[in-house]
Amino acid sequence: MALLFRSTNEQSPAVNLREAFLAGLAPDRGLYFPEKFPQLAPEEIAAFAQLPYHEIACRVLSRYTDGIISAEALAAMCRDAYTFDVPLEKVYDRVHVMRLDQGPTASFKDFAAQMMARLMGRFLKEDGKQLTILTATSGDTGSAVAHAFHKIPGVRVIVLFPFDEVSVSQRKLMTVLKDNIRTVAIDGKFDDCQAMVKQAFADPALKHIPLSSANSINIGRLLPQSVYYFYAASRLAKPGEPIVFSIPSGNFGDMMGSVVARAMGLPVRKIVAPVNDNDAFPRFLSTGVYEKISPSRNSLSNAMNVGHPSNLARLVAFYGGQMDETGRIHRQPDLDAMRRDIFSSSVSDARTRETICEVWAKYELLLEPHGAVAWRGFLDWQAREPLNGLPAAILETANPAKFPEEIEKNMGWSPDVPAAMTAAIQQPEDFDRMSADYGKFRDYLVAKHR
Ligand SMILES: *Cc1c(COP(=O)(O)O)cnc(C)c1O
């Protein structure tokens, strides 16, 4: 019997992974979350120490795909998806930085996108169906999704991005792809792109086009993000020894991956989940009152400019509460348990810049703004609770070369560009351009699907 997934709004029937994955959002507008968590025995987790990343991924994910995808097929997908390095760099004592920036688009979003594309390709093939993925991006998600779905049969991807708001390297990582990928530069803001995508999903005139989004609410994005926590512990902790993670958070999808890993049996001492100026979560954790931030605040760590983190509904559900999609709490979670497990602080742009400089001066370690938030949040936690010699992994979620302006401003030199990025950036670009006018976008979609 396959594992079931329930909606956080508690008004839709439970479904299996395949159904949850293809639906994205539950019919009651809640998010899917496992009904219960498969358990890994301590010996099984201990054995991860000898395994490469893709095999750990296979052993963790098979607990969710059993009965839906054969073991051999899953193993092949994991081998195929995870061909890049996951460096764990020692900084001092047992404190490490885990770099999740070695994938094809140099951000941690590659870990989920790569797996999601393979799952989607497989399900569509089984059903003999075709699908158009429509996504709006402020930078990292669009390129990760476009690269992952490039040349996957049955899938067409259309990415909308605000022309003036993404960096040149972020743009090129999307626009050099061709084949089944189309990028559309919008003369507007990210909010305009997102609004156009939302309108398309609700438009009866587009009913004949099967559309899907690849956004962070999909359970298929969350589960692969639990794997690198097992991986880090397998390299840094002794069998059974708890570890500390610090995870720079925006929509809290990355952080929920660590909650899933712990729920499956991984010993975790503390989950540190710092945010930028968008501090709705740390306020909620300390006061029990949730107030989303609208509009969201612009910070240096721009991938975390989220005023109402969508995954909080899952976190609240995990601790026995209920929060709806608007952020209203219908049942309080166990806040004491949450505070025991999780720490969060808000890191301002000034503290982010200071951290980039200090960490470089002290350790010759280069962090970009998101990783700097993780580092500072870890120090904030350290000021309250001792580490007592335990291992820690601080997550660097993007490559510094994606933010050359900020590094140059603070350090006076530019970071090296990884080989995968250099190769992409040298190819010719090809993208469409349009004003932020929904009517035009609808005509464009209809013409593409004739
Ligand atoms: C998306 C992103 C984050 C935030 O991850 P969430 O899962 O939204 O909390 C952090 N850093 C980078 C570089 C990102 O692209």
Q: HSE of 7 in the Cβ direction (CA atoms, 13 Å)?
A: 19
Residue 319 CB neighbours (<10 A): 16
140 pLDDT band (50/70/90 cuts)? confident
At residue 408, what is the residue type? E
C-alpha dihedral over 203, 206, 208, 211, to 10 degrees?
-80
C-alpha dihedral over 198, 306, 216, 106, to 10 degrees?
120
Mutate to test the pocket of ligand 1, among 161, 229, 252, 254 (most ligand atoms within 8 A of CB): 254
Q: Tell me: the pLDDT tens digits for 171-215?
A: 998 999 989 999 999 998 887 888 898 889 889 999 899 888 777
Residue 118 has pLDDT above 90, yes or no: yes
CA 55 to centroid of ligand 1, rounded, Å:
25
Question: Which protein residue has the closest C-alpha to ligand 1 atom 14?
Answer: 303
CA 248 to centroid of ligand 1, rounded, Å:
7
132 contacts 210 by C-beta, under 8 angstroms = yes
Q: Tell me: the pLDDT tens digits for 329-360?
A: 999 999 999 999 999 999 999 999 999 999 99
SS3 447: helix
Mutate to test the pocket of ligand 1, among 304, 342, 396 (most ligand atoms within 8 A of CB): 304
Atom of ligand 1 nearest to the CA of 371: 11
What is the token pair recorded at 132?
């158009």
Atom of ligand 1 nearest to the CA of 251: 8
Give me the helix-helix angle, 71-81 and 53-65, nearest 10°. 140
Q: C-alpha distances in angstroms, 157 versus 114, 147, 154, 170, 438?
A: 14, 10, 10, 17, 18
For the chain, give the percent of residues with pLDDT over 90.
77
CA 199 to centroid of ligand 1, rounded, Å:
25
Atom of ligand 1 nearest to the CA of 370: 11
SS3 18: helix
162: DSSP letter: E
Mention every residue, 6+ apart, whose C-beta is less than 8 A from residue 356. Answer: 366, 367, 368, 369, 372, 406, 407, 410, 411
Query: DSSP labels for 286-353?
Result: HHS-----SSPPP-SSGGG--SS-TTHHHHHHHTT-EE-TTS-EEE---HHHHHHHEE--B--HHHHH
Atom of ligand 1 nearest to the CA of 368: 13
CA 401 to centroid of ligand 1, rounded, Å:
16
Q: Tell me: the pLDDT tens digits for 378-426?
A: 999 999 999 999 999 999 999 999 888 888 888 889 898 888 788 877 8
Mutate to test the pocket of ligand 1, among 98, 100, 105, 107 (most ligand atoms within 8 A of CB): 107
Query: DSSP labels for 250-289?
Result: SSSHHHHHHHHHHHTT--EEEEE--BSS--HHHHHHHHS-
CA 89 to centroid of ligand 1, rounded, Å:
20
pLDDT computed for residue 398 by the predictor? 94
Mutate to test the pocket of ligand 1, among 97, 98, 135, 140 (most ligand atoms within 8 A of CB): 140
131: DSSP letter: E
CA 109 to centroid of ligand 1, rounded, Å:
7
CA 194 to centroid of ligand 1, rounded, Å:
17
Atom of ligand 1 nearest to the CA of 249: 9
1 pLDDT band (50/70/90 cuts)? low
pLDDT computed for residue 165 by the predictor? 80
Mention every residue, 6+ apart, whose C-beta is less than 8 A from residue 272. Answer: 244, 245, 246, 247, 342, 343, 344, 374, 377, 378, 380, 381
Mention every residue, 6+ apart, whose C-beta is less than 8 A from residue 287. Answer: none
pLDDT computed for residue 198 by the predictor? 83
436: enclosing H helix or E strand? none
Looking up tokens 């259309």, which residue turns up?
158
Report the b/e string of 24-60 with b at 16+ CB within 10 A. bbbeebbbbbbeebeebeeeebbbbeeeebbbbbbbb
Average pLDDT, the chain: 93
CA 400 to centroid of ligand 1, rounded, Å:
14
CB under 6 Å to ligand 1: residues?
107, 109, 140, 216, 248-255, 303-304, 370, 397-398
CA–CA separation, 128 vs 126, rounded Å? Answer: 6
Q: Where are the domains of the chain?
A: 86-105+222-411
Mention every residue, 6+ apart, whose C-beta is less than 8 A from residue 304. Answer: 248, 249, 250, 275, 276, 278, 370, 373
Looking up tokens 């660590």, which residue turns up?
258
CA–CA separation, 309 vs 326, rounded Å? Answer: 10
CA 397 to centroid of ligand 1, rounded, Å:
7
Residue 279 has pLDDT above 80, yes or no: yes
Task: Please name every residue paired with 393 in a beta bridge, in sequence order, or none if there are none.
Answer: 96, 245
Class for the domain spanning 86-105+222-411: alpha beta
Give me the helix-helix angle, 140-149 and 168-175, nearest 10°. 20
CA 262 to centroid of ligand 1, rounded, Å:
20
CA 5 to centroid of ligand 1, rounded, Å:
24
Q: Tell me: the pLDDT tens digits for 291-338?
A: 999 888 889 998 898 889 989 999 999 999 999 989 999 999 999 999
Question: Which protein residue has the closest C-alpha to ligand 1 atom 8?
Answer: 251
Query: Phi and psi for 202 in degrees, rounded to 5?
Result: -95, 0
Atom of ligand 1 nearest to the CA of 250: 9
Looking up tokens 């005023």, which residue turns up?
307
Atom of ligand 1 nearest to the CA of 398: 13
CA 377 to centroid of ligand 1, rounded, Å:
15
CA–CA separation, 329 vs 186, rounded Å? Answer: 36
